[in-house]
Amino acid sequence: MLDREHQLVAYELLLQPDDDETTLMHRVLSTIIDGSVTRLARDNRVFLHLSRKSLLEQSELLLRYPRIGLVIEPDYADDEALLEHLQSLSQRGCTLLLDQGARPIPQASSDRAASALLALARFVRLDARRLDPATLREQCEHLHARGLQVIAGHVDDHETCHRCMALPFVAIQGGYLLLPEKVEVPVLSPNRLSVLRLLRALEEENAGPVELGQVIRNDAILSYKLLGCVNSAYFALPRQLKSVEQAAIFFGLKRIRNWIGTMALSGMHDRPPELLRAALIRAHMCEQLAQSMPREQREMAFTAGLFSLLDSLMCAPMDFVLEHIPLAADIRNALLQREGPFAPLLEQVIQWEAGEMRSGDTQPQQIRRMATVYLEATRWADHVYAFAEQRPN
């Protein structure tokens, strides 16, 4: 959920349905207790769904974690015991998000229970996909006037996003972020053109350690970020690396090229940080899923993942952007045609990202592997992005 400046407001933790609901809820609560949810969300606000049984019996646990809130449904108003429990939680500081969807806003005169439930919520989410523009505006303005923080949900294209931006929504949520905006004539800003030139120079085949050093020699901030990252405790190197050339020799040319490209993209401050983070996560996941491939192909898989959001980052069509970068044919095919050895890896990552890798269609061991790879990728992305945000004193 992002605000109108594309800064993070909150995450929603989505759970796949499970036949054994009790076991699923136990696992969810365990990840809260051991701090996994807080670490995954980087101490940002998180909303999650709990089953009715867990809400009544175990939700008081959440009072110990003020950054974790609950998503509640309008149907809860018909459950007297549940409504009374939610009133208690709300009074004691638990943040509630009412997922109103496309339903009419309840009026106290006609639906006292539903109005009572609405009064408990701090946030209300409307379904921007199902509500027509006039009704969306009317409901958003009505809820905002009542002092509620309104969230636009199911915003899956930029046209809907722009429409919501004109309304008093506190946050916008949906798949629009990972999609490129449609433009009649692509125009690259000086900042984006500079990044593309750097990426082009990195992909030149004759770029050895010395040439890589020369590529970023005039960019003191980029050199500072890269060396700060590779010398951090995350990599636990036996000695400090003092130059890009030393880093290229130690880690390998292709890996350092990838990391320089990563730092360059992460420095695009006119793009949403969560979009940049998504590109980093895709890159690391693709590389880890390619572990059975030769090293050079693993590093190419990283590039395919990193560049898979290049059209969204550059606000230009992918084929237009790739005209500026001399990529290997297998990477280009994965990005443009979804073909070649890296296409299946990218497809797996995108499925996981969208929550479409279901237990009924995928082997449990594959889901466990994807979860492990994803969690490691989030840690790596957070580490890299932290250095990408730094500036020399």
- What is the secondary structure of 225-275 as a DSSP string? HHHHHHTSTTT--SS---SHHHHHHHH-HHHHHHHHHHHHHHT-TTS-HHH
Q: Flag the least confident range among 21-35, 71-85, 101-115, 137-151.
A: 21-35
Question: Is pLDDT of 22 > 80?
Answer: no
- Identity of the residue numbered 342: F
> Across the chain, how many H-helices and E-strands are there?
19, 7
Whole-number pLDDT of residue 18: 64
Question: Is pLDDT of 204 > 70?
Answer: yes
Per mean pLDDT, which of 158-172, 310-324, 377-391 is the most reliable? 158-172
Q: Enumerate domains of the chain plus CATH numbers.
A: 11-178 (3.20.20.450), 190-388 (1.10.3210.10)
Higher pLDDT, 102 or 192: 102
Percent of the chain with pLDDT over 90: 52
Question: Is pLDDT of 334 > 90?
Answer: yes
Looking at the DSSP bridge assignments, the partners of residue 70 are 48, 96
Higher pLDDT, 129 or 247: 129
Whole-number pLDDT of residue 238: 86
Question: Is pLDDT of 389 > 90?
Answer: no
Whole-number pLDDT of residue 193: 86
Question: Is pLDDT of 205 > 80?
Answer: no
Q: 359 pLDDT band (50/70/90 cuts)?
A: low
Q: 157 pLDDT band (50/70/90 cuts)?
A: very high
Average pLDDT, integer, range 49-57: 89
Which pair of structure tokens corresponds to residue 325?
């970068």
Give the Cα separation of 172 and 9 in Å (integer): 9
Question: Is pLDDT of 231 > 90?
Answer: no
Q: Flag the least confident range among 20-29, 159-168, 220-229, 347-356.
A: 20-29
CA dist 296 → 152, 161, 200, 325 (Å): 43, 40, 19, 19
Higher pLDDT, 330 or 247: 330
Give the mean pLDDT of the chain. Answer: 89
CA 219 to chain CA centroid, nearest Å: 28
Which pair of structure tokens corresponds to residue 301?
């898989």
Strands 171-172 and 68-72: unpaired
Average pLDDT, integer, range 190-219: 79
Q: 391 pLDDT band (50/70/90 cuts)?
A: low
Q: 198 pLDDT band (50/70/90 cuts)?
A: confident
Phi, psi of 123 (to 5 degrees): -120, 145
Q: Is 49 left (phi over 0), alpha (psi -120 to 50) or beta?
A: beta
Give the Cα separation of 8 and 141 in Å (integer): 22
Question: Is pLDDT of 19 > 70?
Answer: no
Q: Are 174 and 233 in contact (CB under 8 A)?
A: no
Whole-number pLDDT of residue 264: 84
Average pLDDT, integer, range 126-154: 97
Residues with Cβ within 8 Å of residue 83, at least 6 apart in sequence: 76, 77, 113, 116, 117
Q: 215 pLDDT band (50/70/90 cuts)?
A: confident
How many CA atoms, within 13 angstroms, populate the side-chain half-sphere of residue 29? 19
Give the Cα separation of 85 and 55 in Å (integer): 8
Residue 43 CB neighbours (<10 A) = 8
Give the Cα separation of 100 and 135 in Å (integer): 13
Q: 295 pLDDT band (50/70/90 cuts)?
A: confident
Average pLDDT, integer, range 313-317: 90
How many CA atoms, within 13 angstroms, populate the side-chain half-sphere of residue 295? 5
Question: Is pLDDT of 212 > 80?
Answer: no
Helix (H, G, I), strand (E, B) or coil at 4: coil
Question: Is pLDDT of 190 > 90?
Answer: no
Residues with Cβ within 8 Å of residue 391, at least 6 apart in sequence: 221, 224
Question: Is pLDDT of 188 > 90?
Answer: no
Nearest CA to 32 out of 71, 55, 3, 59 is that of 59
Q: 393 pLDDT band (50/70/90 cuts)?
A: low
Average pLDDT, integer, range 86-104: 96
Question: Is pLDDT of 286 > 80?
Answer: yes
